Amino acid sequence: MMLTIVVAMATNRAIGKDNKLLWHLPADLKHFKSLTSGHTVIMGRKTYDSIGKPLPNRRNIVISRQQDLEIPGIEVVSCLEDATALCNSEEEVFIIGGAQIYTAALAVTGKLEITIVEGDFEADTFFPETDPAQWKEVSRTAFPADEKNQLNYTFLTLIRR
């Protein structure tokens, strides 16, 4: 099974503030949907709360320390290891946040699908530092801001060396 982290982060690694996204980029949302549709997504409970519902056409697994948490349409587990154990037969599984889950998953992830949003943003949540020596860039596509996407952004794919 390939574990893939999907993240949209600013140049300063910012990913959120007050449990909300820092920007609205329809192209990034479309990219996220195309990557994850038909697959399992694993997220922390705060990320789930910010989304507010199970993502359609995906198996949704939420990691929470709350022992008795039940969410209709969601599988709830207590740790990343339990989440990935549910997915042993799957080819690719996506880790979609938040910061604590990214930090826990980084050591066992084989691929990073990153949207880099140009700019430094005020945030309370950041994507963890990565060691460039451990990752090989396999794809990079940059896009200028336009009428629908107000910021410059880049889709970047890295695989573990």
Q: How confident is the model at residue 131 (pLDDT cuts 50, 70, 90)?
A: very high
Residue carrying the six token digits 């599988």: 75
Instruction: Provide the 10 A C-beta neighbour count for residue 114.
Output: 19
Q: What pLDDT score was predicted for residue 102?
A: 98
For the CA atoms of 126, 60, 5, 97, what is the dihedral angle to 10 degrees?
0
* Burial bucket for residue 152 (CB in 10 Å: 0-12, 13-18, 19+): middle
Q: How confident is the model at residue 39 (pLDDT cuts 50, 70, 90)?
A: very high
As a whole number, mean pLDDT of residues 25-42 equals 98
Q: What is the CATH number of domain 6-160?
A: 3.40.430.10
Q: What pLDDT score was predicted for residue 126?
A: 98
Element (H, E) at 103: helix 99-106
What Å distances lie between residue 107 and 21, 64, 73, 89, CA to CA? 25, 20, 29, 20
Nearest to 62 by CA among 47, 108, 100: 47
Q: What pLDDT score was predicted for residue 23?
A: 97
Which residues, including other chains, have CB under 8 Å from residue 86's CB and lie 6 or more apart?
40, 61, 75, 77
| Domain ranges (residues) in the chain | 6-160
Read off φ and ψ for residue 41, nearest 5 degrees. Answer: -115, 135
As a whole number, mean pLDDT of residues 110-125 equals 97
